[in-house]
Amino acid sequence: MTLASGTTGPKVQLRLDGDGWFTVCDLSLLTPEGRGVAALLPDGRQVALFRDRAGRLYGIDNRDPFGGAAVLSRGLTGTHDGRPFVASPLLKQRFDLLSGRCLDDESVRVATYEVRTALDPLLD
């Protein structure tokens, strides 16, 4: 996913290690309908982005550590004990969107990213 030139409105940004904030996409591309979107980062990693019905944003690694495929953005979201998760479309393991911890195997986790919106990324 890349930004279209001339777009307006809030942008979704991720904090990258030591590199500050990276603008990923328009906020309008993230709809709170239970599914996410995948975006490519400058270093080649993929991130899965989610927006819940309250407007909160989440970013986790898109690669499913059990199956190895970059598919977590295609998983379905839900909550468990009040915490948001995404269920992998491969083997259905659930990953906490706040911590990255697998709810079905506590020895496994995926990377998480700090996510924010910005009205004008050029000014941030």
- Mean of all residue pLDDT scores within the chain: 89
Contacts of 10 (CB under 8 A, 6+ apart): 26, 27, 117, 118, 119
Between CA 50 and CA 28 the distance in angstroms is 12
Contacts of 107 (CB under 8 A, 6+ apart): none
The reported pLDDT for the residue numbered 122 is 57
CATH number of 11-123: 2.102.10.10
Interval 55-108: pLDDT, tens: 999 999 999 999 999 999 999 999 999 999 999 999 999 999 999 999 999 999
Q: Where are the domains of the chain?
A: 11-123
What residue type is 83 in one-letter code? R
| Band of pLDDT at residue 120, cut at 50, 70 and 90 | low
pLDDT at 4 over 80: no
Phi-psi region of 118 (alpha: psi -120 to 50; beta: other; left: phi over 0): beta
